[in-house]
Amino acid sequence: MSDCTFSPSLCHIDLGAIRRNFGRMGEAHALMPVIKSDAYGHGLVPVARVLSDAGARRFAVGTVSEAMALRDAGLRQTIVPLLGALTDVDWQGAVMQGLTPVVGNFDQLERAAAHCHAGRTLRVAIKCETGMGRLGFSQKELPQVIDRLRSIQGIEPAMVISHFSCADMPEQEAYTQEQVRRFTAMSDALREVFPEIERSLCNTAGTIGRPEAHFEVCRPGISLYGGNPFTGTTWEDKGAKLGLEWAMSVSAPVIEVRQLAEGQSVSYGRLFTAQKPSVVAVVAIGYATAFNRALSTRTAMLVNGRRVPQVGRVCMGMIMADVTNIPQVRVGDTAWLVGGPADPGQTPVTPQDMADALGTISYEVLCLFGGMNPRVYG
């Protein structure tokens, strides 16, 4: 999608930052980087390539289609589509391409069985429900799962996985510990029969906050892109001290610089009226390319290294900034809506800042900017 927009705004992806963040999360052999949803908007294949160069042995993607795109790009690692195979075509693709789809209910297990071919091993990741309340086998179902796995020719349970619902919330620590306990019990039962099976429970928050629950494989996602899941909590420093770097910046050109007389207003709804003679820059990004309209008057940007407030209502393809206090802004200058070069004493807007202003999480900000803007890599 992001290759065919006509937008003048751009997403800049720093692959070096992603590589360094990967190194900050642990040893490459003990990680399965999560690159679902087009690598959280950063671009599936470029991100997979840089992580492959950094030693990644496995990838977690969302769909079988994403996994196929990685195989098409020549990546030979273990690939786990977290949503599982959804159609017969998916199952055939999973077998042909040697994927490791997630299996978390008996219907999926029977489909897996039906697609096992003589002489070809289908590896699967068994998903256990430990408290997320979404996908996976329950503890009660596990004996039957194990019996069935033993009876299917050509299936190999390569991994057992589960997912935390609130490992990022210090006040929910007891619940997280209970999830660890359940996962330990369920994975132990599987390991008795399949001793080679690899266990994986931790997302970023678990990887940072629960070293006792790392098992063989951790699955960091947001940290690879620079996000600290503990931001705003009492555990913020646990993530902050890793020195994660944001990998995405967003820029757009200044397309007009307008002098306003006192009393003149700007944009739809007249949210901004100049209190004195002012200068407003019009910047070519808007809600059509993920600059959320709810950010109107609630964010800032860097123009020529200086932080300036966004003013007036966000339009479909334009936003405005009050640049009265910075001299000589010209048409063609670059405004940085996220990240970008800052003068000493000036701070860029982070994806977290933008998420806070919107009442959401950085994951959503990254996915939407990355999905709706042309990406450039550096």
- Of 34 and 266, the one with the shorter C-beta distance to ligand PLP is 34
Question: Residues interacting with ligand PLP, by CB under 6 A?
Answer: 34, 36, 82, 163, 203-204, 219-222, 229
Give me the least distance between CB of 104 and ligand PLP, in Å please. 11
The residue from 36, 127, 287, 363 that is catalytic is: 36
Exposed/middle/buried for residue 235 (C-beta within 10 Å: 0-12, 13-18, 19+): buried
Q: Which of 162, 161, 160, 159 is nearest to 131 (CA)?
A: 162
- Of 111 and 219, the one with the shorter C-beta distance to ligand PLP is 219
Residues 144-183 as b/e (b if ≥16 CB within 10 A, e otherwise) read ebbebbeebeebbbbbbbbbbbebbbeeeeeebeebbebb
The verdict on whether 36 is a catalytic residue reads yes
- Of 36 and 42, the one with the shorter C-beta distance to ligand PLP is 36
Q: Which of 43, 3, 42, 12 is nearest to 374 (CA)?
A: 3
The residue from 238, 268, 276, 287 that is catalytic is: 268
Give me the least distance between CB of 327 and ligand PLP, in Å please. 42
The verdict on whether 40 is a catalytic residue reads no
Residues 65-87 as b/e (b if ≥16 CB within 10 A, e otherwise) read ebbbbbbeeebebbbbbbbbbee
Give me the least distance between CB of 203 and ligand PLP, in Å please. 3
Query: Is 273 within 8 Å of 264 (Cβ atoms)?
Result: yes
Give me the least distance between CB of 240 and ligand PLP, in Å please. 16
- Of 220 and 351, the one with the shorter C-beta distance to ligand PLP is 220
> Cα torsion for 140, 145, 147, 152, to the nearest 10°?
170
| Residue sitting closest to ligand PLP (CB) | 221
- Of 162 and 299, the one with the shorter C-beta distance to ligand PLP is 162
Active site residues: 36, 268
